[in-house]
Amino acid sequence: MTRAIRLRRVFVATLILTALTTTFPVATASAVTAEATYTYTPKTICPVDWWEGRWAVKKLIRCAANHYGVSVEKALWVANRESRFQPDAYNASSCAQGLFQHLCAYWPGRAHSYGFKGWSPYNARANTIVSMKMVRRYGWSPWGV
């Protein structure tokens, strides 16, 4: 193959890549925007002292469900089924943690995506708000409901 043919191929490939990157920048920008809408959670949302007992945990779940437009009854039902309202619940066979039993492998990414980067799954407020944001976005299917 001659040098001229190689140069033409490189030039055509460069033109194609340039056309693709300038034609489709909206797709990457919208993905960043969608991700950014979930990354911050104000401390004023449901500031309940959940460590005071089971009634306080239920109050936290009701507050978060109402705030994010999720069914309060279903949220309470799932939390009862998953952990009996125990923030320190742990399932050794599946490595599920917290009120809504997030799997160990998924919790760090979910917490980061929904505004609680570095928080423990045993923090009832973090676990509940992450769960309610997930339900608002995906429904109850991650919990098999």
All residue ranges of the chain with pLDDT < 50 are 26-37
Q: Output the pTM of the full model.
A: 0.71
Residue in 67, 61, 32, 38 with CA at minimum distance from that of residue 134 = 38
Report the distance separating Cα 120 and Cα 19, nearest Å.
Answer: 45
Per residue in 65-85, pLDDT tens? 999 999 999 999 999 999 999
**What are the extents of the domains in the chain?**
3-36, 50-143
